[in-house]
Amino acid sequence: MGWYYNESTGEPQRGLEITMISITDLKSNTAYALDAQQTTDEDGRLRVELYTDHAIKVTAAVLALEIKYLAADAYYSKVYFVSAIIPTGLHIVGMLRIDSDLHWLPERTC
């Protein structure tokens, strides 16, 4: 048992948490669970690291199904997660967090 953020209540709550990776069939409008993993607190590791490890663990199975897009919630729009997923060959589709701070480099005209 640990403390986990419950988005539906907007606050941390004590309980169990799992991460689920699902395959979505757009034609039947259904998601099928591919892999679930209980989130455990590990000393010195952030949650985003645990979630990233889980996503990388199932990458081979996802790519074998000829899937190349990973749809992720705004929480996963973090440099750590994105920079670890891109080398696997998957493309990330998702929202940005409300506190995102984007910087566009201007194109040189000279």
Asked if the model's pLDDT at residue 13 lies above 60, the reply is: yes
Asked if the model's pLDDT at residue 110 lies above 70, the reply is: no
Res 108: pLDDT: 66
Q: Considering the chain, what percentage of its residues have pLDDT values greater than 90?
A: 51
Res 4: pLDDT: 78
Tokens of 34: 């591919």
Q: Which residues contact 101 (CB under 8 A, 6 or more apart)?
A: none
Inter-residue contact 23 to 14 (CB < 8 Å) = no
Whether the full predicted model's pTM is greater than 0.85, yes or no, is no
Q: Provide the residue ranges of all domains of the chain, joining segments of one domain with +.
A: 2-94
Inter-residue contact 98 to 92 (CB < 8 Å) = no
H helices of 2-110, in order, are 47-57, 59-64, 79-85
* More confidently predicted of 55 and 3: 55
